[in-house]
């Protein structure tokens, strides 16, 4: 039982949220720039608010992080991408591979407030 507790985030059952990864493609056609968004993946993830302790730690390096998203290590995601979770949108601040086995990837995000 202790083994399962240590690997809780690595287990696929811990990823109970469905997220979409969107890529913004900038094209230059006839002298102007057009932004197009394209969904590149829909994956299972674990979406959690950043704890207050980590929020203070990230703010000391000038990062306004709001959520931590854990996905499978094989998911192709870039820092320029956006994440959609339900009706909420997130900017990606950083992407970290957390283990050498490449089982998990942690994405630190900031929620985009809709006006």
- Round to whole Å and give the CA distance between 77 and 58: 21
Say which CATH number the domain at 106 has.
2.40.10.270
Q: For the chain (length 115 residues), average pLDDT per consecutive 10?
A: 45 78 78 76 90 66 77 89 93 83 85 79
Structural domains counted in the chain: 1
10 lies in which domain range?
Answer: 2-112
pLDDT for the residue numbered 35: 72
| Confidence (pTM) | 0.72
CA 67-71-74 angle, to 5 degrees, is: 145
Give the count of beta carbons closer than 10 Å to the beta carbon of residue 83.
24
């Amino acid at each position: 039982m202790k083994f399962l507790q240590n690997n809780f985030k690595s287990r696929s059952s811990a990823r109970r949220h469905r997220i979409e990864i969107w890529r913004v493609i900038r094209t230059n056609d006839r002298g102007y720039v057009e932004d197009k968004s394209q969904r590149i993946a829909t994956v299972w993830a674990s979406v959690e608010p950043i704890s207050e302790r980590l929020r203070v730690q990230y703010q000391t390096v000038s990062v306004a992080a709001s959520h931590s998203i854990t996905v499978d290590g094989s998911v192709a995601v870039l820092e320029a991408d956006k994440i959609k979770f339900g009706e909420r949108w997130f900017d990606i601040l950083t992407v970290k591979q957390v283990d050498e086995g490449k089982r998990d990837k942690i994405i630190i995000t900031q929620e985009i407030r809709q006006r």
